Amino acid sequence: MGRKVTDDGMTRDSMVWTQGQDGWMRAEDVSELAQLFTVMLPPPPAG
C-alpha cells in the first residue's frame, strides 16, 4: 500500500472506503493507513 500512496498520489486527505466501514473516511483516520503518513518512505529503486 505504501507504493500506492506515492504512485497514485494518495494523501492523508484522500477519501477511502473498505469493507466494514460505515462510510467514506479520510485516509489518515483509517488506522491501517494512518501509519503510511507518519513514516518517510524510501525512494523507489533506480533502474
> pLDDT tens across 5-37, in order?
555 678 888 898 888 888 999 988 988 888 777
Could you tell me the residue ranges of all domains in the chain?
A: 2-37
pLDDT at 21: 86
**What was the pLDDT predicted at 6?**
53
- Which residues lie below 8 Å from residue 30, measured CB to CB, with a gap of 6+? 16, 18, 21
The pLDDT, as a whole number, for residue 4 is 54
Q: Is 24 helix (H, G, I), strand (E, B) or coil?
A: coil
- Cα distances from 45 to residues 1, 3, 42, in angstroms, run 16, 12, 9
pTM listed for this prediction = 0.57
